[in-house]
A and B are shown apart, each in its own frame.
Chain A
Amino acid sequence: MINTTECAVDAQSLISISLRKIHNSRTQRGGIKLHKNLLVSYVLRNARQVYMNEKYAEIYRMQQYEEVMTVCNEIQELNPLDLAEDCEEQRGDCCGNGGVSEPASLCCALLPVSQLVAVQSAHMQPPSACSAPLSLQSDEVCKETEPSFYQSCCAEAYPVSNCEFSPVNNLHCNKTTVLDLDTHVVTTVENGYLHQDCCASLQQCCQGAQYSGKKRKVDFEYYISDIEEVPDFTPCKRAKFEDCSYANSEHLDTSNISNLISIFGSGFSGLVSRQADIEQALALNGQFCSKQALSSLGAMTRAIVAF
């Protein structure tokens, strides 16, 4: 059991600090330092475990079925189509770029930062609008006007997820949970399918969508603190466990920045006990929508795929 009283630091802030370190490491001179990023991923895992334990304990305390169902209903009312997709500008297969014979996840870490695309939470935008995406980069870069940095996906024609309450379907869904670093909201999106849609509409979108917050500073400090709100807003989708990501590892090289913030599932999976996670989730199932509960943990259940 991790001694969590140390330094009065909580798991959430550690997670945000760690994510920032991994992000910064991509632009450091000399290339990504494998050792340091591995150690950071351990901190992420530890913080995640603590966070999940705390959350599970909290959820376990709220044992009332109606209470949970009410939340579920509220979430149902939110348009599940209001989901942003993370897309990546296609500058060729990252593996081709790098010439490195590494798995996709590793390749993508080597992509220049300029190829990262941010994710916009549709929760903040009308569903059909081309949401202006966010940049994960520093202030300086944010000021650039190059549209390739900012890509958006029209939130249209997204398939309604029929995965909400279906464990069977969930196992075949390609889901990614992403953190919106600007609006500080966690959303879970369907991965592969949406990505293809996104790319099709991409060209139209990125011309028009001007990022209003171009000069907005990415604030890593706060996005985690808003995770508390997530259960209210996250659509009731199953949190993607590592199984999904593995099933879709071949998509990783074409999708996302989800490689940057697409957490914990495909990266350093040796650190994560998938079985334990699933067992824990199932143990808490009981009468209520465990998937909904767990989806709120989606943000916390991923590690950074840095390599």
Chain B
Amino acid sequence: NCSGVAVDNGGSNDVQWCFSQVKGAIDDDVAEADIISTVEFNHSGELLATGDKGGRVVIFQQEIENKSQPQCRSEYNVYSTFQSHEPEFDYLKSLEIEEKINKIRWLPQKNAAQFLLSTNDKTIKLWKISERDKRPEGYNLKEEDGRYIDPNTVTALRVPVFRPMDLMVEASPRRVFANAHTYHINSISINSDHETYLSADDLRINLWHQEITDRSFNIVDIKPANMEELTEVITAAEFHPHQCNTFVYSSSKGTIRLCDMRASALCDTHSKLFEEPEDPSNRSFFSEIISSISDVKFSHNGRYMMTRDYLSVKIWDLNMESRPVETYQVHEYLRNKLCSLYENDCIFDKFECCWNGNDSVVMTGSYNNFFRMFDRGQRRDVTLEASREGSKPQQVLKPRKVCADGKRKKDEISVDSLDFNKKILHTAWHPQDNVIAVATTNNLYIFQDKVN
């Protein structure tokens, strides 16, 4: 058992994860609209955005470090809350379009304002989040309350000036990218060129310019001529962090395709196909389901990518297509429970995964509010829990262990005791620091490493 996860920071300090904060309602009765559906740090890590099933976006901001309390990092407090998407109804198809936020992606910051893309099943929106901490005062023709002054009564002129005011954070929709997806959008990814981004649904990937809403280019289309011949769908897509011509998309068949936009306008033909042959001894009724990839993420350095399928996390070297370079079992003890998990639909849960800032550790969620970290260099892994019980400030998280066979040791949890309603699907890692955001059903936990 390891007590923590070592971070390759030159030294060999073991990292101990401590509780920092938890956001969200305490009561067990979870309102469906409050279910968190996406979590994302911005590029500096100062802002943390969450989206929920009710179509709302909540942005937390890390306060400037509190110098009087050096032992803890600063906290994240609510910065802005806004309704990003509303439920819609497609009258043509008699279909309701959910307002659930599927993904949020931050744009690199160019000026004082922050921009993010948020998407539901059908529509992507560009939001501008800006601060207003001063306001003009001293108009000649307008009172402070807005009433107009009769020009005839004005005897002297003055120059209006800006005066400080209480900080106000405004979110305004700047662009709406709609009507480009027939199927459900599962991914958005911003290109390193800072001008374009892609959006992917089950069968197609579109390329957009951030400024242009009435036009998008289709770059991948895997829809068969006859839908009855459909065998796979696109499950996730992402641009390479540095190469603006390269992107990958994963499929429900467990394959990843790397495409080069320079090769042709339509990237149906991949440049590389990453696929690991199936182990025939593991064949089951559910082989196709558990091999479906639920998330794909490039490493920050752009040399690797990570994929998540139902039971494992795999690290792929972009130069080797035949098999992953590393495979980590997230919860192998579930392999014998697949039929139950199929019945209760848990087998369809889409877990995400993330890299830490220097690509040495990867993290992903599991059930019972457990989440797992895998240290690639040290070849160690740890299971931690996001729960209210472990929520005293600075309380160090105790590693958990699941007992797969019948011989349960003290402090271990048996597989049958796991709560499959408590699942951690969305996690995010601060781009530079050891700060992580872990979303349970309707709560957001923030953990950080213990600073000694």
Contact = CB atoms under 8 A, between A and B. Distances in A.
B348 A39 contact: yes
Nearest to A6: B284
Given A103-B228, A268-B230, A98 B94 contact: yes
Contacts of A33: 184
A100 B183 CA distance: 11
A7 interface: yes
Contacts of B121: 30-31
A201 interface: no
A174 to B, nearest CB: 17
Interface string B174-186: 0000000011100
B98 interface: yes
A178 interface: no
Interface residues of A, number: 43
A43 B286 contact: yes
Interface string A1-18: 111101101010010010
Interface stretch (B15-23, B78-86, B261-269, B339-347): B339-347
Interface string B263-306: 00000000000000000011111111100100000000000000
Contact of A105 (B98, B228, B287): B228
B230 A1 contact: no
A268 to B, nearest CB: 6
Nearest to A36: B348
Interface in A249-275: 266-271
Interface stretch (B231-239, B321-329, B399-407): B231-239
B230 A38 contact: yes
Contacts of A21: 345
B116 interface: no
B252 A39 contact: yes
Nearest to A30: B98
A99 B229 contact: no
Interface string A201-223: 00000000000000000000000
A6 B285 contact: yes
Interface string A135-172: 00000000000000000000000000000000000000
B96 A307 contact: no
A99 B93 CA distance: 6
Given A34-B183, A38-B252, A6 B338 contact: yes
Nearest to A1: B283
B184 A2 contact: no
Contact of B93 (A46, A110, A271): A110
A46 B227 contact: no
Nearest to B341: A7
B114 to A, nearest CB: 29
Which of A3, A11, A47, A100 is the most central at the interface, judged by chain B CB atoms within 10 Å of its CB? A3
A98 B92 CA distance: 6
Interface string A80-123: 00000000000000000111101101100010100000000000
Contact of A31 (B184, B228, B340): B184
B229 A98 contact: no
A115 to B, nearest CB: 11
Which of B92, B93, B202, B232 is the most central at the interface, judged by chain A CB atoms within 10 Å of its CB? B93
A35 B203 CA distance: 10
Contacts of B227: 102-103, 105-106, 307
Contacts of A35: 184, 202, 233, 235, 252, 292
A30 B233 CA distance: 18
A221 B182 CA distance: 34
A56 interface: no
B404 to A, nearest CB: 15
A4 B96 CA distance: 39
B115 to A, nearest CB: 27
Contacts of B287: 2, 46
Given A17-B342, A31-B184, A42-B289, A3 B233 contact: no
B288 A42 contact: yes
Interface in B76-120: 92-98, 100
Interface in A32-91: 33-36, 38-39, 42-43, 46-47, 50
A270 B94 contact: no
A14 B339 CA distance: 8
B452 interface: no
Contacts of B183: 34
Contact of A30 (B97, B228, B282): B97
B202 A266 contact: no
A33 B184 CA distance: 8
B235 A268 contact: no
A29 B98 contact: yes
Nearest to B280: A1
A47 B202 contact: no
Contacts of B215: none
B420 to A, nearest CB: 15
Given A31-B96, A39-B348, A46-B285, A307 B230 contact: yes
Contacts of B152: none
B96 A29 contact: yes
Nearest to B289: A39
Contacts of B345: 21
Interface in B396-436: none
B342 A97 contact: no
Nearest to B233: A35
A30 B96 contact: yes
Contact of A39 (B93, B98, B228, B288): B288
Given A2-B284, A105-B227, 7 more contacts: A21-B345, A30-B97, A35-B184, A39-B292, A100-B93, A270-B228, A307-B230
20 contacts: A1-B283, A3-B281, A3-B283, A4-B285, A7-B338, A21-B345, A30-B100, A31-B184, A33-B184, A34-B202, A34-B233, A39-B288, A43-B289, A43-B342, A103-B226, A268-B231, A269-B228, A270-B228, A270-B231, A271-B231
Q: What are the nearest 5 A-B pairs in CB distance?
A: A7-B339, A42-B288, A30-B98, A99-B92, A31-B95
